[in-house]
């Protein structure tokens, strides 16, 4: 489910729940969800450590432990992380036992997500290819435009690449392109500079709005739902009229994924 705003919401909810708590034990319920290490390594390295911080980098959740270790969780399509003390579900993949029966759970129905533990040094290396955080000072107009000039990728794939800017996925890439008036299949180096600048600002505002409007709320008992008030102009709206020009939203397939766009607004 998650792109940057959803992962951010999960981290924000998680941090006050687990910061300062100790990991008393680790249960790996699906070995393949711990990669590339052996599950036993995760158990051995995490057990007994204190959780110091919960951070996000791109779509990665980073859980800093005492002793300079970091647990990295990538949710891929259907992962979720939450604290509970309820019964285990079939789709729970890794469980970190905290005190008083509370459990930090990595749940992932499709089992595409992964949990990894490494030193700060390794974490840095693994995240080195990630582009700048769109809401940070590292994400500059100059750098973004310069990279776009050098790439022949279709605009949407350029945005989802993660190396030019971190955290955009299928929804927010489409929404940013719509707001900037760029056709998703257009080679990004053939987009006029003025529109690339508009795209830069569209990314920042789309992500800012989505972060602000995405919250994670419990729906008892212990399950999460995401509630968001972010308005999608195009994503998931095939054949609906565009809210700006009235033309019907179209769906195409790029790199095997649905792309939605407005043929009137995005040339």
State the catalytic residues.
2-3, 59, 257
Residues in 25-64 at the binding interface with DNA, rule: CB under 7 A = 32, 58-59
Q: Provide the β-strand partners of residue 22.
A: 50
Is residue 186 near DNA by the rule CB under 7 A? Answer: no
Residue 145 lies near DNA (rule: CB under 7 A): no
Q: Which of 17, 91, 205, 215 binds DNA (CB under 7 A)?
A: 91
- Residue 196, CA distances (Å) to 36, 145, 176, 243 in order: 38, 6, 11, 22
# residues near DNA by CB under 7 A: 37
Choice between 152 and 220, CB closer to DNA: 152
Q: Does 131 bind DNA (CB under 7 A)?
A: no
The DSSP result for 73-139, as a single string, is: EE-TTT-EEEEE-S---TTEEEEEE-GGG-EEEEE-TT---EEEEEEHHHHHHHTTT----TTSTTS
Query: According to the binding rule CB under 7 A, does residue 160 interact with DNA?
Result: yes
Among 15, 50, 76, 250, binds DNA (CB under 7 A): 76
Query: How far is residue 114's CA from residue 158's CA, in Å, rounded to a whole number?
Result: 24
Q: Interface with DNA includes 153 (CB under 7 A)?
A: yes
Percentage helix, strand, coil, to 5, in the chain? 30, 30, 40
Q: At what angle do helices 193-213 and 141-149 cross, to 10 degrees?
A: 120
Residue 6 interacting with DNA (CB under 7 A): yes
Q: Cite the DSSP H helix spans in 30-69.
A: 39-46
C-beta of 49 vs 195, nearer to DNA: 195
Within 201-260, the residues that bind DNA by CB under 7 A are 214, 226, 228, 236, 254-258
- Does 5 bind DNA (CB under 7 A)? Our answer is yes
If binding is defined by CB under 7 A, does position 154 make contact with DNA? yes
Distance CA 267, CA 264 (A): 7
132 binds DNA (CB under 7 A): no
- Residues whose CB is less than 8 angstroms from the CB of residue 217 and which lie 6 or more positions away in sequence, other chains included: 224, 225, 226, 227
Nearer to DNA, 259 or 266 (CB): 259
- Report, in Å, the least distance between residue 138 CB and DNA: 18
Among residues 226, 18, 16, 221, which one has the least CA distance to residue 103?
18
**Counting contacts by CB under 7 A, is residue 162 touching DNA?**
yes
With CB under 7 A as the contact rule, which of the stretches 99-107, 108-116, 137-145, 215-223 interacts with DNA? 108-116
Beta carbons of 200 and 166 less than 8 angstroms apart = no
- What DSSP element (H or E) covers 144? helix 141-149
Instruction: Out of 11, 171, 182, 191, name the contact with DNA by CB under 7 A.
Output: 171
Residues that bind DNA (CB under 7 A): 1-3, 5-6, 32, 58-59, 74, 76-77, 90-91, 109-112, 151-154, 157, 160, 162, 169-171, 187, 214, 226, 228, 236, 254-258
């Amino acid at each position: 489910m998650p792109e940057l705003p959803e992962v951010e919401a999960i981290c924000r909810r998680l941090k006050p729940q687990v910061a300062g708590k100790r990991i008393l034990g680790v249960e790996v319920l699906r070995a393949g969800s711990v990669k590339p290490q052996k599950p036993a390594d995760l158990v051995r390295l995490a057990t007994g450590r204190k959780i110091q911080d919960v951070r996000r980098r791109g779509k990665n959740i980073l859980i800093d432990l005492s002793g300079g270790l970091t647990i990295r969780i990538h949710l891929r399509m259907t992962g979720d992380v939450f604290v509970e003390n309820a019964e285990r579900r079939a789709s729970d993949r890794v469980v970190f036992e905290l005190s008083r029966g509370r459990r930090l759970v990595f749940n992932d129905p499709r089992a595409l997500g992964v949990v990894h533990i490494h030193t700060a040094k390794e974490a840095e290396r693994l995240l080195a290819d990630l582009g700048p955080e769109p809401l940070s000072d590292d994400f500059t107009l100059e750098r973004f435009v310069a990279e776009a000039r050098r790439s022949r990728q279709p605009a949407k794939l350029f945005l989802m690449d993660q190396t030019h800017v971190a955290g955009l996925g299928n929804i927010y890439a489409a929404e940013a392109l719509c707001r900037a008036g760029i056709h998703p299949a257009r080679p990004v180096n053939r987009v006029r500079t003025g529109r690339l600048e508009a795209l830069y600002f569209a990314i920042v505002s789309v992500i800012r709005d989505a972060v602000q409007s995405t919250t994670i709320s419990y729906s008892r008992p212990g399950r999460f739902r995401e509630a968001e008030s972010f308005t999608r102009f195009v994503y998931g709206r095939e054949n609906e009229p565009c809210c700006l020009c009235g033309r019907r939203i179209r769906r195409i397939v790029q790199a095997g994924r649905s792309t939605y766009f407005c043929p009137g607004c995005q040339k």
